[in-house]
Structure formats: structure tokens, C-alpha cells
Amino acid sequence: MVERFLVDKSGQVYSAFDEQFAAKFGYPMPDFDLPSYAVRNLGAVDIEFSGSQTVVRFRSLFVTTTALAATATLLLEQAQGPVTVQREDHGWREEIFASSAEAAAWLTEHGHGSQGSFRDVVTTPLSIAHLSERRLSRIEQPHDKLSLVFKKWRIMSGVFDREMTDFLVRHQLHDRTIIVSEEPSEKKLVFEHFGAGFTIFEDINPGWRFSLQGRPVAEQPDKEYAACIDIAYRKSLDERQPRFDHVDAVVRTPGSKPDRFIYDRLLLPCRGPDGQRVLVSTSYGEHLRSIDAGSQK
């Protein structure tokens, strides 16, 4: 009998072809190999139990310590006989272990690969053409709204001024928008506006977003998340290109359980009237509160 499971980045375990897992990623009736897609793009770990043989697959670049710890626990509970671990780390590599105990120990110590690259933020590029070609006879869905702001940005040739801010307010996009600018002297990216629709870090400090103006993007309670956001913003500015991404992030704060944010994000590099670099980030998604990183379903 063959059993196949997927462990997501927060450590939750799903049957690989369970409807709940498919719906979780927005594909209730997928016409492709969803488990392989989840491993390749979403940081999942694929585990297949087949008689006395167990195979584990993951990408070192995207996998998290939480996912590997949950995988090790599952192996200890269910695996019988040898375990083969296949990991993508600058090419696919294979490790074979005589027992589940050996495999579990290796996963917790060395599963990250040679670069030690654990990431709690997985960013999957989406097609900007999807927004460019979207018809806006009715503006109802999140992608309609992202398309609207993208087309306004294009019409304005990337200029950020009062007309753009009025546009965001008029179309009720300001609550789903973050605006940052580049500080002239030290070239840090700092917050100028943080929309009221975002709930990140509010559990530890309900007034957090009200104190953000002028503060560096890289200085947030979760340093890894802050660094990933800062890098993405700066890359869009440096390349002078819009970016449209699906982001799946586990955000951690001291003394609190992790929260998970899954959203589609549009980044628009702009220039202010004085030539200052400005980044407009508009996004829509879901906040899954208080993840128990060790829980399983």
C-alpha cells in the first residue's frame, strides 16, 4: 500500500491528494501534479511510504526548519526500513539511510543543504501580462484591483505624485497599499504609508503601523521577513520593473506563535517629483493567525 503526504512550510501534514490540501493552495480540482508543484515552488516536503521503502523529496532553497522537523517526526512514527532523501540543492542529490531514526537525525541537522538556506518566505513569480490584459468592465476581484493600479501606473509612466495618491484613495486601494521611499543619505528604504488593511504584527502591538512612517523597511520584528521584503522592494526599484508575485510567508515574533500570510503582491517602482525613488506595493490575500508550528492535520 502506497501512502503519500505533504508537509507545508508551517509543519502541517496533509494527504497529498486530499481535497483540503488542494483547496488550500487555490486548486480544488488541479489538472497537474500538485504535490510536485508544491515541492518545487511552495516549500513543501513530499513523503511517500511504499511498503518497506520511504522516499522524501524537498528543495533546500525553499524548505523551512519547521517543515523538516515535522517530516522527521512523521518518519519516526510511520517509516519502516530504509529511507531515501532526495533534495534539490544546486542539482538533485540523494541520501540513503538504513533507518527512519538515521534519516530523521540527518534532516534536523543537515537537511538545509550546503548553504544552510532556510526560508520562511516563498515568493513565486506571477505573470504581469495577466494584469495588463485583464478587462476591467467590472472591478470585483482582487486581481481586478491590482490590474487597475498597474494600468494607472503605466499611464503615468511610473511617476508618483498627488494624482497617484488620490487615485489610490478614490478606488479604495490605499488600505491594501504600502508606500516606501529611498532615504537620500543612507539609501535605506523607509515606510511612507502602511495601509489599514494589513494586520501583520498587530497582535504584539496593535498600534504598530501608526509608528512606521520614516522607519526602515528592514527594521521589523521578524528580521528574516523584513529582509526578504526589503530585498524584493529594492530589486524592483533597481531593475525599474514591476513585479507580480504570490507570497507565502510564515512571520515570527518573539513570545508569539507564528502567523502565516498568503497574498498576491504587485510592486511598482516609481519616481517622485524630485526624482526620489518610490515603491508602491499593493496586495490582497489571507492572514492565517497563530499557527502552531508543530501541529499536524
Which residue ranges of the chain lie beneath pLDDT 50? Answer: 113-118, 292-297
Q: What is the pLDDT of residue 176?
A: 97
Q: What is the pLDDT of residue 185?
A: 82
Q: What is the pLDDT of residue 118?
A: 38
**pLDDT per position as a tens digit, 164-221:** 999 999 999 999 999 999 998 888 999 999 999 999 988 778 888 888 999 999 988 8
CB 121 within 8 A of CB 261: no
Would you call 224 helix, strand, or coil by DSSP? Answer: helix
Residue type for position 170:
R
Q: What is the pLDDT of residue 256?
A: 77
Q: What is the pLDDT of residue 116?
A: 35
**H or E element in which residue 278 lies:** strand 277-288
CB 107 within 8 A of CB 86: no
Paired strand residues for 55 = 48, 84
Q: What is the pLDDT of residue 293?
A: 39
Beta-carbon contacts of 277 under 8 Å, excluding residues fewer than 6 positions away, are 181, 182, 237, 269, 270, 271
The Cα 184–Cα 123 span in angstroms is 28
- Among residues 72, 35, 201, 60, the alpha carbon closest in space to that of 119 is found at 60
Beta-carbon contacts of 59 under 8 Å, excluding residues fewer than 6 positions away, are 39, 40, 43, 87, 88, 89
Q: How many helices (H) and strands (E) does the chain have?
A: 8, 12
Would you call 199 helix, strand, or coil by DSSP? Answer: coil
Dump strand ranges (E) for 183-258. 189-194, 243-251
- Sign of the dihedral defined by the CA atoms of residues 280, 264, 201, 8, in that order: negative
Dmax (CA) of the chain = 67
The Cα 199–Cα 289 span in angstroms is 10
pLDDT above 70 coverage of the chain, percent: 89
Q: What is the dihedral of CA 189, 195, 199, 201, to 10 degrees?
A: 30
Q: What is the pLDDT of residue 254?
A: 74
CATH of 123-288, one of 2.102.10.10, 3.30.450.20, 3.40.50.620, 3.30.565.10: 3.30.450.20
Residue 267 is classified by DSSP as E
Q: What is the pLDDT of residue 240?
A: 94
Q: What is the pLDDT of residue 266?
A: 98
* Residue extents of the structural domains in the chain: 2-119, 123-288
